[in-house]
Amino acid sequence: MRQHNRICAEIDLDAVLYNMEQMKDRIGSDARFMAVVKTDGYGHGAVPITKMLESVPYVWGYAVACLEEAVQLKENGISKPVLVLGCVFPDQYEEMIRYNIRPTVYTEEMALEMSEEAVRQGKDVFFHIKIDTGMGRIGFPVGEESVDSIERISRLPRVRTEGVFTHFAKADETDKTYTRQQHDNFIWIKEQIEKRGVKVQYYDCDNSAGIIDFPEMKHDLVRAGIAAYGMYPSEEVDKKAVRLRPALSLISHVTFVKEVEQGTAISYGGTFVAQEKMRVATIPVGYGDGYPRSLSNKGSVLIHGKRAKILGRVCMDQFMVDVTDIPGTRFMDRVVLIGEDGDDRITVEELSDLSGRFNYEFVCCLGKRIPRVYRQGGDLIS
């Protein structure tokens, strides 16, 4: 297997499965999962993760953000249902139906046009109808007019109203009042739809925060996103309820070690100047890889199990660290940017806080030029 010495992200597939199992234990055996793999599986790699989850019986299918992501899964042999959570545009309807991809539907106009394309192809299209219960993004508003629209949509030719769902805006916050109001709105819509005799197979509203803090709101499906990758939606959810294991490590190697004298400036702008004689190592990673420039003079890495502080500005492709107190550091030594080394660990959350981001954003911004390699059963498999 090719060595990736400059940088690589190691993804532990066993950790992803472990996290799914922990969430399953939380909600019980009667609900099924939609694994959210948008933005290339939150930067972890959507195709390898979905291929691993294909054989997991309680995983119903997958959710992505756009049609392009859905088509990528289908073209890589994924057979379980794939739902596009965002907008599918009119010029994409033909491809969407041809690949049997589920759209999120939130206007009658789009439903009608999708139905017409399904009739043209002689295939059924499976709608998941979005309800805006308080997110303020996309979706039918809560009210009788929306119920009327959903009833009319359900009667369109070649249409299956497979799902109705909403999204919680504040489930990861300590105050749960707003989430309960959203759920009450969702229940009202559900009851009105059922009164009209509209057949819906799946109702769902729980996201990662909902799974952790509101397992009673699971309905027929739950959507596991950030938690599947071993990260919590916020510091305010009940971490004791679901124990998660981070799936991603970010690894590099030292490319140069030098001694510098007092007064030596390091990196662009000379924002760090040595106050004494020091040993400095260069790491071949930068903001071109998605490693934030805002970690300049703030972040650290692990070398030989010890912390090495970033000196000066993070460049596009390199940055420097202080290895004065890490004797023996030399060319090709392993560097842990995210993950464990010895008794210490650098987490995505730590780097997110230091860089002014949050964990979702940090992993999604890890660049495409970072190779992803995968571990399963303790072995590197790709």
Q: Across-strand partners of 204?
A: 165, 221
- 299 and 161 inside one domain: no
Residue 351 belongs to a domain: no
Residue 297 and residue 270 share a domain: yes
Please determine, for residue 191, whether its predicted confidence score (pLDDT) is greater than 80: yes
For the question of residue 38 being annotated catalytic, the response is yes
Binding site per annotation, positions for substrate = 137, 316
- Cβ contact 271:261 at 8 Å: no
Is residue 202 part of the annotated active site? The answer reads no
Q: Are 297 and 265 in contact (CB under 8 A)?
A: no
Please write the tens of the pLDDT for every residue from 49-65.
999 999 999 999 999 99
Q: Which structural domain, as residue segments, surrounds residue 256?
A: 248-346
Is the pLDDT assigned to residue 202 strictly greater than 60? yes
Catalytic residue, from 38, 130, 170, 218: name it.
38
- Which residues fall within 8 angstroms of residue 299, CB to CB, at 6 or more apart? 309, 310, 314, 351, 354, 355
pLDDT(85) > 90 = yes
Q: Determine which one of 258, 268, 277, 368 is catalytic.
A: 268
Domain-terminating residue out of 194, 229, 264? 229
* Direct distance between the N- and C-terminal alpha carbons of the chain, in angstroms, rounded to an integer: 8
Domain count, the chain: 2
Q: What is the pLDDT of residue 230?
A: 98
Among 201, 229, 257, residue at a domain's last position: 229
pLDDT greater than 90 at residue 30: no
Among residues 163, 194, 229, which one ends one of the domains? 229
Residue given tokens 């806080």 in the structure block: 353
Residues 212 and 286 in one domain: no
| CATH number for 153 | 3.20.20.10
**SS3 call for 146:** helix
Please report, as a single letter, which amino acid is at residue 212.
I
Which amino acids are annotated as binding site, given as ranges? 137, 316
pLDDT at 1 (0 to 100): 54
How confident is residue 328, by pLDDT bands cut at 50, 70 and 90?
very high
Look at residue 70 and tell me if it is in a domain. Answer: yes
User: Residue 29 — pLDDT band, cuts 50, 70, 90?
Assistant: confident
